[in-house]
């Protein structure tokens, strides 16, 4: 899909407040952990990533389903 910035065409306008990639990743991980009551293996399966990759994403992150 070709986006023409001059016309503002496309699925999103330049003025839309989209989350950053980091914010979107955090939101998806938090939701997956919420739906699985904190079970990281199940959350990783829902997200379509390995348990190890989820662990790398979680490193340094804190939230209601993560232990400090």
**Domain locations along the chain:** 21-58
In this predicted structure, what is the pLDDT of residue 13? Answer: 65
Domain 21-58 part of CATH 1.10.3470: no
Chunked mean pLDDT (size 10), the chain, 68 residues: 56 75 93 97 98 92 56
Whole-structure pTM value: 0.66
In this predicted structure, what is the pLDDT of residue 48? Answer: 98
Residue 26 CB coordination number (10 Å): 16
Q: Is 60 exposed, middle or buried (0-12, 13-18, 19+ CB in 10 A)?
A: exposed
Contact indicator for 24, 32 with CB cutoff of 8 Å: no
CA atoms of 56 and 50, how far apart (whole Å): 10
């Amino acid at each position: 899909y070709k986006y023409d910035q001059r016309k503002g065409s496309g699925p999103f306008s330049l003025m839309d407040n989209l989350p950053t990639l980091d914010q979107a990743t955090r939101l998806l991980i938090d939701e997956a952990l919420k739906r699985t009551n904190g079970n990281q293996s199940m959350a990783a399966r829902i997200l379509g990533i390995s348990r190890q990759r989820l662990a790398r994403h979680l490193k340094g992150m804190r939230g209601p389903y993560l232990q400090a």
